[in-house]
Amino acid sequence: MDVVWFKKNYGIINLMKTIIANFKMNPGSEEEARSLLNYYREKSSELSNVTLIVAPPFIYLQLAKEKGCKIAAQNCFYENSGAYTGEISPLMLKNLGVEYVILGHSERRSLGENNEVITKKVKAVLENNLTAILCVGETKEEISRREDVIKEQLRSVFSEISPNDKIIIAYEPRWAIGTGEFCNPEVAEQIHQFIKKFLSSEFGFKDILVLYGGSVDDKNINSFLIQSNIDGALVGGASLRKEEFANILNIANSLSS
């Protein structure tokens, strides 16, 4: 992607915002999916300072490709082929034209995926030259030790990959997903800065993109994107509401100009 950088206080700040529309297990019909994808494809043509990535369910990925969207899968398995009924491999996604894969989403972790499984998935995605979007974050019970929790999640993956690998981080406090609650933007900024410093000092990853996710909407997106270390947003429910998501994109685009 074309990225514009400028110096500010403590490091290099990314002016280009990345917004990911995660449809989750929605919508229920191809007609609805087509309508959403048509709308966002048209909208993306108006954006000069936003990279828009659309993450529909697997069955709509081909449709998203036909619409010319930048596409992400919402998950994948850690083998390229084999007797794994119901799974989708990173090789299949690559051959379909997928560029990104979301991994370690809080909803997947809640269903039992642990750091070991997520690390295997990230490695498989990177080996297929796709970009991994790794989600990290704490539960409500873990807030008091969130930095240790996030370090453990990051260390599991980054100890197995190299600084040349293509990876984006999404910080999503697990207690904020689908609840209507969201992290205080100033606190989120501190966590994003912590993540960047940790990955730089411990693993040599410089200028890595870190996005915020967790009950993002058009009313709070501005307060997140004005923070120096928040490079964009992973948007869930709001990405299914056309006008609201268009507002999010317009705000992101205006802040980046």
Mean pLDDT of the region 109-134: 97
Q: Is the pLDDT at 7 greater than 60, yes or no?
A: no
Q: Would you say 212 and 188 are in contact if contact means Cβ atoms under 8 Å apart?
A: yes
Residue 251 lies in domain: 5-256
Tell me the catalytic residues. 105, 172
Q: What is the 3-state secondary structure (H, E, C) of 125-175?
A: HHHCCCEEEEEECCCHHHHHHHHHHHHHHHHHHHCCCCCCCCEEEEECCHH
State pLDDT tens for residues 56-73: 999 999 999 999 999 999
Please tell me the pTM assigned to this model.
0.93
pLDDT tier, 14 (very low <50, low <70, confident <90, very high otherwise): low
**What are the structure tokens assigned to 94, written together?**
């690559």
pLDDT of residue 11: 42
**What are the structure tokens assigned to 217, written together?**
């909407």
| CATH code for position 35 | 3.20.20.70
Q: Is the pLDDT at 1 greater than 50, yes or no?
A: no
Radius of gyration of the chain from its Cα atoms, rounded to whole angstroms: 17
**Tally of domains within the chain:** 1
The torsion angles phi and psi of 55, rounded to 5 degrees, stand at: -120, 85
Tell me how far apart the terminal alpha carbons of the chain are, to the nearest angstrom: 16
Q: Would you say 54 and 21 are in contact if contact means Cβ atoms under 8 Å apart?
A: yes
pLDDT of residue 15: 73
